Amino acid sequence: MSDVTRRQERLVADRTGLEALRANSSVFDFEADGETPERYTVVFRGRGLSRDARSGQICEVLEHRCDLRLTGAYPDRPPEMRWQTPLLHPNISYSGFIRLADVGLPWDEHLSLDVICERLWDVARLAYYDLDQSTNSTARHWLENQREYTLPADPRPLRDRAVSGEPNVFRYRRTDGRLIVLRESEPEPMVLYLDENTPLPALPEGAPQRMGGDEEILYIQD
């Protein structure tokens, strides 16, 4: 596959991933043009903190915007990212630039934009910061000494509309004396080992009763 084809396929996949993220989030939105955008403005609607330029007081910010530029070297090189709205964070420079390595995401070409946006939201709400990689001494000093705010400023995960894919009814298969628990949401089966030493709990009222014969019944309760 040529580098041009690989880049185009990646751009399409990134837009698809961001659209899915937007559908699963009350926090996230984005602005971009075309099917293979090379620039995004990602938007997070939720609580973050900033310092008022005139008074120096800490204040809440309820909408955050960050520009992502996918240069010609992308995906071999990470996006260029710059925060457009005020934000108090030790890993964002005074001019708004942010590097993935400074917020715990060393670049890998398989790192998708939706995963990057999850980390950017954690940055915006101060759920993630690294004082050892600080590029903003004012924010670092404030975080080291503040006692007024409980962090993160916003408790919501980015995918707050996502429905858990885990079913509450499992299928089972016995293989070589082991009971295999089959669950669609897990790529690898979960294994539960049972033998004669496994204690048998008392069944609560209304639970299925043991039947005669060789039937095997497994009752699971929270």
Beta carbons within 8 Å of 208's beta carbon, 6+ residues apart: 217, 219
Task: Report pLDDT for 15.
Answer: 97
At 10, the pLDDT band (50, 70, 90 cuts) reads very high
Residue 150 has pLDDT above 50, yes or no: yes
User: Can you tell me the distance from the alpha carbon of 12 to that of 17, in angstroms, rounded to the nearest whole number?
Assistant: 9
Instruction: Using a pLDDT cut of 70, give the percent of the chain over it.
Output: 73
Task: Classify domain 3-145 at the CATH class level.
Answer: alpha beta
Mean pLDDT computed over 71-76: 96
Task: Report pLDDT for 183.
Answer: 43
pLDDT in tens, 81-136: 999 999 999 999 999 999 999 999 999 999 999 999 999 999 999 999 999 999 99
Task: Report pLDDT for 162.
Answer: 79
**Residues 27, 46 contacting (CB under 8 angstroms):** yes
pLDDT in tens, 30-55: 999 998 999 999 999 999 999 998 89
pLDDT in tens, 14-25: 999 999 999 999
User: Can you tell me the distance from the alpha carbon of 14 to that of 69, in angstroms, rounded to the nearest whole number?
Assistant: 13
Looking at per-residue confidence, does 70 or 173 come out higher?
70
Sign for the pseudo-dihedral over CA of 137, 125, 165, 18: negative
Residue 216 has pLDDT above 60, yes or no: no
Q: What is the 3-state secondary structure (H, E, C) of 132-151?
A: HHCCCHHHHHHHHHCCCCCC
Task: Report pLDDT for 1.
Answer: 75
Mean pLDDT computed over 62-73: 97
Task: Report pLDDT for 109.
Answer: 93
At 203, the pLDDT band (50, 70, 90 cuts) reads low
Enumerate the domain spans of the chain: 3-145, 165-197
**Averaged confidence pLDDT in the chain:** 83
Beta carbons within 8 Å of 118's beta carbon, 6+ residues apart: 157, 158, 159
Task: Report pLDDT for 165.
Answer: 52
